[in-house]
Structure 1
């Protein structure tokens, strides 16, 4: 197989998908995203199927259970961990079936898998006493190491099933709250402190390096910490273009100057009143490129097109249309289409 890398000039999804039918979702994603399909997440199935629940299926020797407020580290695997593993196995079976039907087994066609990033995970998982794991340096380290080991094993399993290269996306929607100290605690007197950026960077960088395949770190929140993401070791950074402001311009430019590629969220996750064409969808990216002073060819050479975030909250019809629109826009970028 050829060297693994994140393709550019193509489209992919962020991760989550509406509904509960894994086979239908896999068939749609493989069909609509011919260059970079992904293993979908179906949080509509409930416990064990959301972003943190998926982590329960991946963590090694660190089982999760639930509490009244969310997921909690447990002493031994219980129903929550077993359910999460069962749901992941069903999703993999569905993707493997769709892959076979599409004739892609044993090809150089890459596929993307997603996992919650170590900092968002630590911010959402509780310890036995009810405190967030983020507040305990040892717990942060243990979670990060367990996650990295689990994702490595997950990648190997998907590669074995599909006979194709696998790329990894870490989702860090909570990264800004981790750095700002805006998370809530078990009481007003126990609010987690802001995690210093060097400590956060060390955690994320270690996990990115440990998975040993090209990594995309995705942060669709407003005011993304672009300097930290640039130094994380990721090959690509995913951003929601609609939340970027003038204050983010220098950071985006530095990402490109440092040789990173961008996964730009350009297709809305909610169905609009009128379906926009590729020219309208791509204009924010063209404007961004022009303001940064880069040639527009960067949109073909360094950009992956995605919806602005996961599609779990959309209806099935728009989700499919969103992937198709992303693919159309990626082709327009690759072909050097005119946007003026």
Structure 2
């Protein structure tokens, strides 16, 4: 974990993706909901719009950030190629448009600001090598991919800082495949076998190296996974300042590792609102599970609103624009309820 005393997010935030194809509207919604003109009123972020097509999806967007590695779209997914092509140019162009919109709507902003990218292990489990197998199948390819990602993230974060000079940038690494990587559950190209589990020390070390690009510049890192059995202890040891997760998937067997993480200063981004269309409960009811967790852990109630940020359970790309707006607003209301009534 970085020694980052300025990383004190409170209130609510989002995970990353939003519905639709209008990036200015999405940025306006996000910055308006989390009051990007007023520091301390939630954590605004740069939204992602995968509905625009390949290159705007999470894998393609991050592949466009890689240095000296390029990817193109094949029928089976994203595959590493020899040179930058149309798909790489499209991904970089859309990211540039997103940053233009972010710069427009964050004029004068001086609070925390979150950007997202796919982490090294989910990227290795998704990006195919030239032969068709994913990079996860080749330890050397995993190392090269992580190094390229770290260099690309460094350049991306520097560009965000240039465009929003008053912001303190927070990096979120999306790792939904991390549990499958650790358990040897990532399928081969044929689908008939699974790639072997990666040693936990290797996973931890690679994450630490990629995080160092941000933390070395004084910034905080969140690791997000909406899968079950998030490896909280491993992420804490790797240095994550916060862990973002689907709070609805927690069980009591997670209590010890979550309690240890909180006591060591790790923030929790608790996903309590569905990322897909559905009825929204009252805000107080949405965070009752978080209160129950806190009581089980025996932690001081006053610490709750300081240590927990309320979010949707996962991205909102699959929802309607209206539901996405209401879900983010609901997170803000639920966070206020948590702060006002922690017990």
* TM-score between both structures, scaled by the size of structure 1: 0.93
Aligned residues of 2:122 and 2:175 also touching (Cα < 8 A): yes
* Residue aligning to 2:27: 26
Farther off after superposition, 21-30 or 224-233: 224-233
Q: CA deviation digits over 1:39-96, x for unaligned, max 9?
A: 0000111100111011122111111112221111111101110000011011111111
Aligned residues of 1:220 and 1:240 also touching (Cα < 8 A): yes
Structure 1 pair 97/39, CA: closer, same or farther in 2 (3 Å)? same
Q: Which runs of 5+ in 1 are unaligned?
A: none
Cα deviation, residue 189, structure 1 = 6.2
State the SS of the aligned residue for 1:126.
coil
Alignment of 1:1-150 (within 5 A): 5-34=6-35, 35-100=42-107, 105=108, 107-150=109-152
Structure 1 pair 149/4, CA: closer, same or farther in 2 (3 Å)? farther
* Residue aligning to 2:164: 162
Cα deviation, residue 243, structure 1 = 0.7
Q: Distance in 2 between matches of 1:189 and 1:46?
A: 29
1:177 matches 2:180: yes
Q: Distance in 2 between matches of 1:65 and 1:227?
A: 35
Q: Distance in 2 between matches of 1:333 and 1:304?
A: 10
Q: Give 1:291's match in structure 2, choosing from 278, 281, 296.
A: 296
1:268 matches 2:264: no
Aligned residues of 2:248 and 2:272 also touching (Cα < 8 A): yes
Aligned residues of 1:4 and 1:214 also touching (Cα < 8 A): no
Q: Distance in 2 between matches of 1:326 and 1:10?
A: 8
Structure 1 pair 6/304, CA: closer, same or farther in 2 (3 Å)? farther
Aligned residues of 2:8 and 2:306 also touching (Cα < 8 A): no
Cα deviation, residue 211, structure 1 = 2.3
Q: Distance in 2 between matches of 1:9 and 1:129?
A: 46
